[in-house]
Every structure is written in structure tokens, then in C-alpha cells.
Amino acid sequence: MDRTLRRVAIVGSSRIPFCRAYSGYENETNLSMLATALGGLAERYGLKGERVGEVVAGSVISHSRDFNLAREALLDAELSPKTPGTSLQIACGTSLQAALMLGAKIATGEIDSGIAGGSDTVSDSPVVLGPKMQKRMIALSRARTVGERLAAFKGFSLGEIAPVAPSTQEPRTGLSMGEHCELMARHWGISREAQDLLALRSHQNAAAAWEAGFHDDLTVPCAGIYKDNNIRPDTSLEKMATMKPAFDKRSGKGTLTAANSTPLTDGAASVLLASEDWARERDLPVLAWLTMGAVSANDFAHGDGLLMAPTQAVSDLMRRSGLGFDDIDLFELHEAFAAQVLCTLAAFEDEDYNRDVLGREEPLGPVPVDKLNIFGSSLAYGHPFAATGARILGMTAKMLNTQEKDRALISVCTAGGMGVAALVERAN
């Protein structure tokens, strides 16, 4: 039995343009958006009617009808019905985690190809009724007589039909992600000005990438949308400075605003992975290699910092690979909030944090600004939760290839105090 691990090729990616919630995709669903992204991938790489080893994809905000999302989307995208689909959810790290899972299967020979993806729509959020009304509706569905139907609504009050709004609060703390990030910014001394500057740079870099045509072969139109609609090339520090705090509105110390936080976003993305032989046999490109991954978690409910877990995943990758930050050419850090990125960068350099949290004798070190999110990231493109990892992975593979860089580090923070990280190397 051959136990040699195979290299995992990143062949290419496809996503739909990302849209601010309640704008371009109000009539779209997780399924329709993911199917469009997968369909673009299938069209580009000749996969229509072809069997792929597995599609792993998911969504964070989902309806009960999305229970078999990956499988239904691949069928709508006209992949072979013999292609299995697995639905997955690990908050904002969903599609990057999907890629790591598929990568492990490809490396060990279980499958020869796989597609990782994710889709999320805030515009089509499920409307949920309270527990009393839910129980009444279940009782009504089981009723067989008029008396049983009437009994199902005994003691009914109009307040029971009020919908329960979707929430981003952490169940263990009752705080939203933005409120948690405010605490992190305060702990690390991250200023409002530094956050706005990072956000401005993200918009400028993303706008330049679109203008240069970088995204032309990475995106497929959806619902008449051809371009991300959140990018603000005309914004300025002066405009950003007028924004009021979005999460800490009372203390007078709030620094996170709508300008330096990701907006609620709709979108979908996908990435095609394969063994080298599978890609070469089909005359498909190999842009880069997915070489290593890590998933981490921390005790955020007791003060670790909700969005700081990626530092542990990154430290793990560096330790296992024997690499240091000097060996990394591109740093692709998901921008949930500008403050989250800046806290992470500060932690990488902090001696106490590296010793006490990461177990390192020496700090990981600084990240040069000219290597960080050079084509912009989530603050500009937007953040459809489950789709972001696939967007970043697809972009990174192409960036390494076109920029002739050798190695990239990807980091994605998630709800629940978790982080997903990956190392990607250019295929020479």
C-alpha cells in the first residue's frame, strides 16, 4: 500500500460578485447563489456532467430547506449526479475548513478532486417564530379533529406571532461579535484612526484590483450583477471620521464603525482542488499548492478575545512547517473588522502573548504592510460568512501565480472563538 501523501493542487476558483445585504440579491437564496458559483467553476474547467470526488460547502445563515445545500447546489450546477455533496458549517471559516478537509482526502488518495464552497444571504434570512408559537404549529400539524385544532391555540396571544430576529450574539456571553471586538481593541490599544486607515487601504487595493482586471476570471455574473458593490474607491479618512460608533454607542470610547467593519453581505464562492495527476490529465492549470492547515479555538467566554484564535492556528502552522514570517510573501488576513486585524498583528509581535498564549520563546514577528492583503480583503469586498474562505483561497492562489510570489499565509477568524489558517505555495 502506497502511503505517500500527494500534493493538493488549487486549480482555480469561481464566485459571484458580493453584494451588500438587501441590494442586488434580494430575490436569491443560498442555493441559487452557490449553484451559480459552482456552475461558473464547472463551465470554466469543463466539469459539466463530470463526476468530482466530493463537494463540501455550507452556509451560516440558513433555512431548514438548506439541509442538503452542497448536494442540491452541485446538481443545479450540472455536475454529475454521481458527485457526493457534504454540507458543513464552522461560521466564517466554513469554506476554508471545507478546503482543508478535501485537501486531506486528496492527499491520502481517498478522492482525486473536490470543490470547497460557501454561500450566505442576509437578505433571505429565515423568519423564526417564538417557541410557544412553534409548539402550537406542530400541534396543529398533528391535529386530526376540530377539537384538537382548537386546543392547539388555547390561551393564544397576539404577541406569540412576533418573529424572533436573527442574532449575531454569542450564546455564552450575550455580546455581538462587534462588541467583543471593541473589548479586544481596548485591550490592545487599537485606535480609531488606525482602523480607518486599514479600511481605507482595503478599499483602495480592492478597487485597483478590479480596475486592473484581476477579478475578471474569478467571478461569474449573478442576477445581473457583475461586480462587488461594497467597494468604495472614493471614500476617504475624512468621510470615515464622520461615522458614529456602531457597537459601543454609550461609553464615548467606541472605535468600531460601519466604515471599519465588514457590512452584512450576500454572496457565494467556490474553489476546485485536485491531485496533480487529475489536473494534468485534464490539461487543467495548477495555480498553487494547498500545503498545510490548522484550526484552533480559545476560551473567549473567559477573556481570551473572541477573534484572537487565529493567532494560535498561525503559530501552529509556523511551528509545524518550520517556517517564519520572513518566509511568507503574502499575508491574507480576513478583515472581519479592521480592529481584529490590528489586534492580531499586535499579538504576533507581543512577547508576553507569544510566551503565555502561543508557547513561543520568540515572537512570531511583524507583518510588513506591503505584504498584507495587497489586493484588499473583506472590509472592501464584503463578507458573506461561509463564502469568505473560498474567496480568499481562490484569490491567493491566483495572486501567487500572477505576482510570482512563493508562499502565502491565510487566516480567518470565526464566531465561537475559533480560527482557521492555511499555507499556500505557488506551483512552479
Q: Which residues are catalytic?
A: 92, 383, 413
CA pair distance 90, 128, nearest whole angstrom: 21
Q: Are 286 and 113 in contact (CB under 8 A)?
A: no
Q: Judge residue 224's burial from the number of C-beta atoms within 10 Å of its C-beta, 0-12 exposed, 13-18 middle, 19 or more buried.
A: exposed
Q: Are 266 and 25 in contact (CB under 8 A)?
A: yes
Length of the chain: 428
Q: Which of 218, 236, 237 is nearest to 227 (CA)?
A: 218
C-alpha cell at 162: 412576533
Would you tell me how many other CB atoms lie within 10 Å of the CB of residue 370?
A: 6
Q: Which of 123, 98, 407 is nearest to 270 (CA)?
A: 98
Torsion 252-256-257-258 (CA) sign: negative
CA pair distance 428, 420, nearest whole angstrom: 26
> Which residues are registered as beta bridge partners of 333?
411
What crossing angle do the helices spanning 338-349 and 177-188 adopt, rounded to 10°?
Answer: 40
C-alpha cell at 306: 473572541
> Which residues are registered as beta bridge partners of 266?
19
**String of DSSP letters for 244-286:** PBSS--SSS----BSSSBPPBEEEEEEEEEEEHHHHHHTT---
